[in-house]
Amino acid sequence: MSAGKKHARSEGEEQSARSAKKLKTTAVIENGPTESEPRSVEAEKKKKKDKKDKKDKEKKEKKEKKEKKDKKERKEKKENKQLEDEVAGDRKASTTADTEIAAVEPQPQSDKKEKKKKSKSKPEPESSDRSTPNSTGQDGLPNERAADQAPAVNGAAQRNGASYSYRQTAALDAVPEEEIQEFLKKQEIVVADPCGTKLRPVTQFSHLPSSTLLSKKPFASFTAPTPIQAASWPFSLSGRDVIGIAETGSGKTMAFALPCVESLASSPKPKHSKKDKTAFARAVVVSPTRELAMQTHAALSSLASLVGLSAVCLYGGASKDDQRALLRRNAGADIIVATPGRLKDFLAEGCVSLSDVMFAVLDEADRMLDKGFEDDIKLILGSCPPRERRQTLMFTATWPTSVRGLAEGFMVDPVKVTIGSRTRAGGDENGEANGTVELQANSRIEQKVEVVDPRGKEQRLAELLREAQKGSAKNDRILVFCLYKKEAVRVEQFLQKRGIRVASIHGDLRQDQRTRSLEAFKAGTTTVLVATDVAARGLDIPEVKLVINVTFPLTIEDYVHRIGRTGRAGKAGKAITLFTEHDKAHSGSLINVLRAANQPVPDELLKFGTTVKKKTHDTYGAFFKDVDMSKKGTKITFD
């Protein structure tokens, strides 16, 4: 007999017993006292009976009340359990194509409602643990949240399951409001939050809430957070989706690396069968080029290793077996930094799964969302848990309107943090530029444009290099950009013939040749690097003194990224662009970028016109998409 049945029967038995008692009582009342019984005895009997009836009734009511309460508690417990299971385990189930479609569809109203409902009913993480110094967190690491920290800003658990909860520190609380306002104004920080949360920028590293990671002093070589770090960290550490737009070389890598590692360090690793050969990453960072992926991997890896987390880099043009072995060695790797093509291959093979991903980053986000990569990104983010159950961050120096809608389809109420004067130069108070100057080059880069005859470009390049490397500057690093691979080969040979120490990096080279060229340039054994746009974005090469554009890039965004290889981390830099009549479609947008950065606009350039044309090249994006040369039958694109 089941417990339920047993319970039902005993309830039934009780009821019939109660009914029998009631019948007996009723009979007595109906019959009334007999003639022979004295009146007082009769009254006494009735009184007793009434008292008993009352007691029975009270008892019954009390029992019913208790049953109701128990039932309610059981229901609540069940709901909470379901919710916890969903947050902890359901990620596994939510992979594949339909998620992928959902990720790019506008967020349905019910989704939002559901999210709100969940965050209300979600049990709060054990806040006492977090605020008690030296208590132990879920991961078993000592939890070092300081006792003087204010209550968590985000209150409930982060939606991606991390127990890390951002708390504005007492030290930051104590900063006078005028100082905060002054900082925001001086650094030209604009925060647009659809949820209207006001969080102060973290102006000092000491204003960050303490953690195991920070106790290892990862920022010892820096004096203060850069503006994008200061303004975005409070939101990203709170578990919010963030779009960060800041000039080249302004520390965007650390802006996403810190919340990524904090988030993973504070959440338990989902368990998988030892027999399972699949690598289940918990964070994924997607980069447009192999070299950038490697660089980002190095930065993330050094931060992650401080708290015992591992990171693996997956990119094309290198041995898959070696990368598979790395994945196995790192027990799946907590963080995967990858180029889209290789990641897609590993996903298709089943040796990588993104179903545990709680933190996803698109570095150089506008590039990743452009036509060349759009489908790959849909597939990759579609293989992660839905946007409501992961945290998604996007960072870039350029944010063209064409990708904004798509970006928001992958995110939930993203906070947009913009650094720079684009709001002054024709934008509204939300940081949304209204057309003219939304694109901003690093203001510490001196930009020079020379309008030249196309036939004299290479000769002029040789002169410029000679001038730039005169005397004590003979070892200065100079980056020379070409548009086409064949052009890069020709320019490299031209310079070699003139005795210039030069290397090159472009898509027609094998990956080991590309890596060698970059290493030689970084080490200073070659002082000139001829590159296509494969080197335009993200590469952080120390001490590049000058960037020369031999041929203008396909888009004005690429121009901003190319020249951004100099003037990094607060340093000054110089860029010279050889502009010919073939590039005249770009004159308007180039003039705007020059003016916004208070740079001289030559009359010869003005002659080509100031009208900003729509993006002139439809295949923008396909040009410097890395192609795995080891694959057979692949159509090789030119960059």
* CB burial of residue 84 (10 Å; 0-12, 13-18, 19+): middle
Using the contact rule CB under 6 A, the part of the chain among 15-23, 32-40, 242-250, 384-392 near ligand ATP is: 242-250
Which C-beta is closer to ligand ATP: that of 222 or that of 349? 222
CA–CA separation, 560 vs 441, rounded Å? 5
CA–CA separation, 392 vs 159, rounded Å? 11
CA–CA separation, 108 vs 91, rounded Å? 20
Where is 135: in which H helix or E strand?
Answer: strand 135-136
Using the contact rule CB under 6 A, the part of the chain among 249-257, 492-500, 597-605, 627-635 near ligand ATP is: 249-257
* Residues 11-30 as x/- pattern, contact with ligand ATP by CB under 6 A: --------------------
Task: Starting at the earlier edge strand, list the strands of the sheet with 242-245.
Answer: 189-192, 415-419, 242-245, 391-396, 359-363, 283-286, 335-338, 311-314
Name which position in 154, 211, 253, 469 contacts ligand ATP (CB under 6 A).
253
Residue 436 CB contacts under 8 Å (≥ 6 apart), including other chains: 425, 426, 592, 612
Least separation in angstroms between residue 495's CB and ligand ATP is: 25
Site for ligand ATP in 532-571 (CB under 6 A): 538, 540, 564, 568-569
Which C-beta is closer to ligand ATP: that of 252 or that of 457? 252
Least separation in angstroms between residue 222's CB and ligand ATP is: 3
Least separation in angstroms between residue 250's CB and ligand ATP is: 4
Q: Which single residue is written with the structure tokens 């975005």?
A: 232
* Residues 372-411 as x/- pattern, contact with ligand ATP by CB under 6 A: -------------------------x--------------
Name which position in 143, 250, 383, 440 contacts ligand ATP (CB under 6 A).
250
CA angle 423, 429, 431 (to 5 degrees): 50
**For strand 311-314 and strand 283-286, is the pairing parallel, antiparallel, or unpaired?**
unpaired
Any contact of residue 589 with ligand ATP (CB under 6 A)? no
Any contact of residue 254 with ligand ATP (CB under 6 A)? yes
CA angle 484, 487, 491 (to 5 degrees): 140
Which C-beta is closer to ligand ATP: that of 2 or that of 221? 221
- Extract the tokens encoding 366: 């506008």
Which C-beta is closer to ligand ATP: that of 141 or that of 298? 298
Which C-beta is closer to ligand ATP: that of 289 or that of 423? 289
CA–CA separation, 472 vs 356, rounded Å? 54
- Extract the tokens encoding 42: 């009769």
Using the contact rule CB under 6 A, the part of the chain among 251-259, 312-320, 422-430, 458-466 near ligand ATP is: 251-259
- Extract the tokens encoding 318: 């290198």
Least separation in angstroms between residue 562's CB and ligand ATP is: 10
**Residue 568 in contact with residue 226, Cβ under 8 Å?**
no
**Residue 546 three-state SS:** strand
Least separation in angstroms between residue 203's CB and ligand ATP is: 11
CA 493 from centroid of its chain's CA atoms: 41
* Residues 170-209 as x/- pattern, contact with ligand ATP by CB under 6 A: ----------------------------------------
Site for ligand ATP in 212-231 (CB under 6 A): 222, 225-226, 229
**For strand 189-192 and strand 445-451, is the pairing parallel, antiparallel, or unpaired?**
unpaired
Any contact of residue 287 with ligand ATP (CB under 6 A)? no
Name which position in 130, 145, 252, 389 contacts ligand ATP (CB under 6 A).
252
Least separation in angstroms between residue 537's CB and ligand ATP is: 6
From the list 414, 444, 452, the residue with the least C-alpha distance to 575 is: 444
Name the residues that contact ligand ATP, by CB under 6 A. Answer: 222, 225-226, 229, 248-254, 397, 538, 540, 564, 568-569
